[in-house]
Amino acid sequence: MTQSGKIRSVGVSNYTLAQMELLCERLGRPPATNQVEFHLLHMEPMYDGTFAQCERLRIRPMAWSPLAGGRLFHADEPAGGRLAAAAAQIGPRYDMAGLAELALAWVLAHPAGPVAVVGTSRPARIRSAAKAARLQLDRQDWYALWEAAQGRRIP
Ligand SMILES: NC(=O)c1ccc[n+]([C@@H]2O[C@H](COP(=O)([O-])OP(=O)(O)OC[C@H]3O[C@@H](n4cnc5c(N)ncnc54)[C@H](OP(=O)(O)O)[C@@H]3O)[C@@H](O)[C@H]2O)c1
């Protein structure tokens, strides 16, 4: 399809490491992206080799549900209170950014360079997501959000 010019590039979603290796072999080159779940409540791509594979193959991943589908803000989400408290401390250093902006900036700061696939269609929230794309979280604040999400100190 790409060779005949019908499509410019191929992207996949939720591919495992083995599926990606097989696809690369059959295509003869890596796809443009692998869209995977990644946010403060779901960090597996950092640990299971997905992002390392993206970096090795020079694929820019896409992060779906970068705000955990809104669960970050739910009162019954155990990590939500800790993240809100961390955001209240960190936000003033980033132009009074709130938890939504900081959570998106956290996703974007991973060295694999994820592109955040935001789900809201509310203009004000889309504007705040665009603001998040300009935030450069320093490493200490990135880890503070990691710790708040995990509920434990970095070992
Ligand atoms: N490839 C896959 O398997 C897969 C799976 C799931 C999703 N996706 C893709 O990922 C996209 C995004 O997923 P998602 O909707 O779960 O993304 P998300 O951006 O993590 O969550 C959006 C939800 O959070 C709510 N929300 C609450 N407070 C918010 C705030 N301050 N700022 C922004 N949003 C807030 C939104 O409500 P409002 O709408 O009221 O603003 C909306 O319901 C989907 O549209 C889909 O294209 C892909």
- Give the model confidence (pLDDT) of 98-154 as tens digits: 999 999 999 999 999 999 999 999 999 999 999 999 999 999 999 999 999 999 998
- The full set of domains in the chain, from first to last, is 32-150 (3.20.20.100)
Between the CA of 1 and the centroid of ligand 1 the distance, in Å, is 31
Measured between alpha carbons, how far is 145 from 86 in angstroms, rounded to an integer? 6
- Look at residue 1 and tell me whether its pLDDT is greater than 90: no
Between the CA of 68 and the centroid of ligand 1 the distance, in Å, is 7
Q: Whose CA is nearest to atom 25 of ligand 1?
A: 70
Q: Is any atom of ligand 1 closer than 6 Å to the C-beta of 94?
A: no
Which residue carries 């509310």 as its tokens? 122
- Give the model confidence (pLDDT) of 94-114 as tens digits: 999 999 999 999 999 999 999
Between the CA of 116 and the centroid of ligand 1 the distance, in Å, is 10
- Give the model confidence (pLDDT) of 18-37 as tens digits: 999 999 999 999 999 999 99
Between the CA of 118 and the centroid of ligand 1 the distance, in Å, is 5
Q: Is the pTM of this model over 0.75?
A: yes
